[in-house]
Amino acid sequence: MTALAAVVLCAGKGTRMKSEKAKVLHPILGRPLCAYPLKRALELGASHVVPVVGHQAEAVEKTVRALFPDAPLRFAVQREQRGTADAVRSAEEALKGYSGRVLILYGDVPLLRRETLEALLAEHDRTGGPLALVSTTLEDPTGYGRVIREGGRVARIVEHKDCTPEQRAVRESNAGIYSVDAAFLWKALAGIKPQNAQGEYYLTDLVEMAAKLGPVGTVEADATETAGVNDRVELAARARVLQQRINEAHMRAGVSIQDPATAYIEEGVVIGPDTEVGPMVTLAAGTVVGRGVTLGQGSVLTASTVADGTVIKPYSVLEEAKVGERNVIGPFSRLRPGTELAEDVHLGNFVETKKARIGKGSKANHLTYLGDANIGAGCNVGAGTITCNYDGVNKHVTELGDGVFIGSDTQLVAPVKVGDGAYVGAGTTVTKNVPPGSLAVSRTPQTTKEGWVAAKKARRAGKTQAG
Ligand code: UD1
Ligand code: CA
């Protein structure tokens, strides 16, 4: 395999987005637009990936670096938007010393499939010329460059504004995606002049130069794949296609999705077979769901792991949580970062956890906060229990052994430990460690005054008569 580098054009302002934010940072299914082409380049094994930034360069660079922390990224800056050839040329310095193929992608074209790019690289290999490109046959190619062939071979690309009437009738259009030999690329770019209707440096001029040296390979892609984003209507339309594509792949792999139009599953999410996804479920990046899991309506999972056979009931929110096998979570549970649940754990409505490790078979079914807590196996945490983990300055840990019973409306003032098999009576404020096997109760003893209600009524009646 020939070496591969990629240049991804991300410098555009995106005026029609009418936004403070750079176009390539607008999210589609949870990730910025430019994350998609960058990901494709990395998947293909590019040894150098050069995002060309310009408009809001710092913000774009910061976001991209955070998204791909370990990727071989080298940023290039295009100060002024002088055309696509000028944009690619600004990547030359970043690729100094590199020889091999350069894949050129647009940061605002999110739906391009890996298979299409693989076909492009294979076509480039097969034809052996200095360049291969992706073309699309469009019903209405207005605005696109036309692929002009002579005797069946690609001769050049002519931009819409520079076309003769006959050229305008050509529907085979340039998608703007190329594989180019590095040595040819830098040499040819240096020779491009802005002599055209728009006074811009056209990258498409490369095609005529390449055609003089060897055959220009083409790969035909579907128009839905090569479509870019110019405004927010197009952004939403591309998101729909991506959503459908992802959902269909999961369904074909054995996942049931009750209402695919309202299931938002981001790229890279893993779901095992026989899992059922309810309506309005969001599964954000980094989420891994096992087999036979039920994800109830309206659940939102971010960077979380859910093991086989677990049921997440409706409207539960999980963030960086690890849920073991056969758990029953929700409805309306909130699992925050650092939550780690073993097997057969039950957490019910309005239960919030944070940095909480909960052992096998333990239950907290109602109205509870468990933060900075290590809870053993087989515990029962009663309704309304609260770990008081914060003293206003520091966070402290609550520890429960195995088989602990916490009565309802208990406060556990951390740091505090409750030993194996201990009981805490309802309404207790636990401030001291409870040894294994003991009972702790802190509430004031109950007093009962029999006949008190009738006596009070009689007193009141007496007063009214006197008055
Ligand atoms: C380009 C092609 C055209 C093709 C079309 C497909 C040229 C001259 N024309 O036209 O043949 O049919 O794409 O969509 O290449 N960009 C920069 N810096 C610049 C100019 C552009 O980073 O100075 C970026 C834009 O942000 C965008 C991409 O390059 O992501 C394409 O630029 P755009 O101006 O949209 O090119 P088109 O006129 O659509
Ligand atoms: Ca465009």
| pLDDT tens-digit readout, 337-351 | 999 999 999 999 999
Is 55 annotated as catalytic? no
Check residue 463 and give its pLDDT: 84
d(CA 192, ligand 1 centre) in Å: 15
Interatomic CA distance for residues 9 and 17, integer angstroms:
17
CB-ligand 1 contact for 88 (6 Å cutoff): no
Average pLDDT, the chain: 97
Phi, psi angles (nearest 5°) of residue 188: -70, -40
The pLDDT score that the predictor gives to residue 2 is 83
For residues 147 and 151, what is the distance between their CA atoms, to the nearest angstrom? Answer: 13
State how far the alpha carbon of 44 is from the alpha carbons of 2, 107, 265, 409, in Å. Answer: 12, 16, 23, 56
Rg of the chain on CA atoms, in Å: 32
Say what the pLDDT of residue 67 is: 96
CATH architecture, range 256-440: 3 Solenoid (2.160)
> Mean pLDDT across the stretch 138-152?
96
Is the CB–ligand 1 distance for residue 94 below 6 Å? no
Is 385 a pocket residue for ligand 1 (Cβ < 6 Å)? no
For residue 108, give the ligand 1 atom closest to its CA: 30
One fold for both 4-226 and 256-440? no
Residue nearest to atom 33 of ligand 1 (CA): 84
Nearest atom, ligand 1, residue 12 CA: 26
**Is the pLDDT confidence value at 467 over 90?**
no
Largest Cα span, the chain: 118
User: pLDDT tens digits, residue range 403-458?
Assistant: 999 999 999 999 999 999 999 999 999 999 999 999 999 988 899 999 999 999 99
462 alpha-carbon distance from chain centroid: 72
- For residue 64, pLDDT over 80 is answered with yes
Ligand 1, atom 3: closest residue by C-alpha: 145
Q: How confident is the model at residue 459 (pLDDT cuts 50, 70, 90)?
A: very high
Q: Are strands 172-181 and 101-106 parallel, antiparallel or unpaired?
A: antiparallel
What is the C-alpha separation between 192 and 47, in angstroms, rounded?
27
203 lines ligand 1 (CB under 6 A): yes
Section 25-31 average pLDDT: 97
Class in CATH terms, 4-226 = alpha beta
**Does position 465 have pLDDT exceeding 80, yes or no?**
no
* 9 close to ligand 1 (CB < 6 Angstrom): yes
Residue nearest ligand 1's atom 8 by CA: 202
- Mind listing the pLDDT tens digit for each residue in 252-297? 999 999 999 999 999 999 999 999 999 999 999 999 999 999 999 9
> Does any ligand 1 atom lie closer than 6 A to the CB of residue 275?
no
pLDDT at 1: 63
Indicate the pTM of the whole model.
Answer: 0.93
Q: Which of 26, 55, 366, 396 is catalytic?
A: 366
CA 69 to chain centre: 15
What is the pLDDT at residue 149?
Answer: 98
**For 228-254, how does the pLDDT look when each residue is reduced to its tens digit (9 = 90+)?**
999 999 999 999 999 999 999 999 999
Determine what percent of the chain is predicted with pLDDT higher than 90: 97
| Dist. CA 37–CA 105, nearest whole Å | 7
Chain segment 151-187, per-residue pLDDT in tens: 999 999 999 999 999 999 999 999 999 999 999 999 9
Counting ligand 1 atoms within 8 A of each CB, the residue from 7, 52, 81, 84 with the most, and so the one to mutate, is: 84
Ligand of minimum distance to the alpha carbon of 170: 1
Average pLDDT, stretch 77-85? Answer: 96
Partners of 363 in beta bridges: 346, 380
Average pLDDT over residues 181-198: 96
437: Cβ–Cβ under 8 A, 6 or more apart, which residues?
419, 420, 421, 422
Domain positions in the chain: 4-226, 256-440
Residue 82 Cβ contacting ligand 1 at under 6 Å: yes
Q: What is the 3-state secondary structure (H, E, C) of 318-385?
A: EECEEECCCCEECCCCEECCCEEECCCCEEEEEEEEEEEEECCCCEEEEEEEEEEEEECCCCEECCCC
